[in-house]
Amino acid sequence: MEVEILVIGNEILIGKTQDTNSYWMAKRITKYGHRLKRITDIEDSIEVISNTLQTILKRKPDIIITSGGIGPTFDDMTLAGIAKGLNRELEEEAKDYINLSEEEIGKIGLSEAEEVAKAFGFPEGNVYLFKIHDQDAINQIDKGIELSKEIIKDADRIVLPSDNNNHSDHQAT
């Protein structure tokens, strides 16, 4: 399979944070017999993420892995950029993931609640998300299985299938 990695983060581009994720993923991707065609580093910007994702999709890789930019801070635009790049809306389901009542969210304050909602909004539709931390975790991703959002809420990697609607052939192992 052909794989591309899209690394999103201003902190990478300004040298504040070293991109060790790409190194880690590249070793495992090639270890399992796949071909890593490209690693692209971009800024946290909805337009840049959207445009870059659309460009990657035109190259038709089997797997696109994104890394970075998923969090509650103002500059984390990954999910919104991916949704825009896929012409999808974000599903705002923060309450399902943080288990807070309306009253508890009210106590937090609107701006903080909006940040939490942004952190847990996912692109609509058939988007595959995996948490990859362990050395052999990439081996644990089963063919064609979409993980539940209860697991996805902790994901720090997003794996998107290419534009093929039959995702049974898109896997990470």
DSSP, residue by residue, 85-97: HTT-PEE--HHHH
CATH value at residue 55: 3.40.980.10
Task: Over range 67-95, report the average pLDDT.
Answer: 69
C-beta atoms surrounding 7 within 10 Å: 19
Position 43 scores a pLDDT of 92
Helices 46-59 and 78-85, axial angle in degrees (round to 10): 50
- Residue 76 CB-density burial (10 A; 0-12 exposed, 13-18 middle, 19+ buried): buried
What span, in angstroms and rounded, lies between the C-alpha atoms of 155 and 79?
12
Position 104 scores a pLDDT of 54
Domain presence at residue 84: yes
Highest mean pLDDT among 85-89, 106-110, 146-150 belongs to 85-89
Position 165 scores a pLDDT of 39
Q: Which domain holds residue 147?
A: 2-91+124-162
Position 79 scores a pLDDT of 77
Nearest to 172 by CA among 147, 136, 133, 142: 142
What span, in angstroms and rounded, lies between the C-alpha atoms of 19 and 12?
6
Nearest to 90 by CA among 80, 76, 75: 80
C-beta atoms surrounding 83 within 10 Å: 23
Domain presence at residue 116: no
Domain presence at residue 7: yes
- Model confidence band, residue 92 (pLDDT cutoffs 50, 70, 90): low
Structure tokens at 15: 């040298």
Asked whether the predicted pLDDT for residue 151 surpasses 50, the reply is: no
What span, in angstroms and rounded, lies between the C-alpha atoms of 158 and 170?
13
Task: Over range 102-128, report the average pLDDT.
Answer: 53
> Which residue shows structure tokens 């944070």?
17
What total of structural domains would you count in the chain?
Answer: 1
Domain presence at residue 114: no
Task: Over range 97-107, report the average pLDDT.
Answer: 51
Task: Over range 18-34, report the average pLDDT.
Answer: 86
Q: Are 130 and 164 in contact (CB under 8 A)?
A: no
Domain presence at residue 51: yes
109: amino acid identity, one letter: G
Position 129 scores a pLDDT of 46
Domain presence at residue 102: no
Domain presence at residue 112: no
Q: What letter does residue 148 receive in the DSSP assignment?
A: P
Domain presence at residue 46: yes
Asked whether the predicted pLDDT for residue 29 surpasses 50, the reply is: yes
Asked whether the predicted pLDDT for residue 74 surpasses 50, the reply is: yes
Asked whether the predicted pLDDT for residue 24 surpasses 80, the reply is: yes
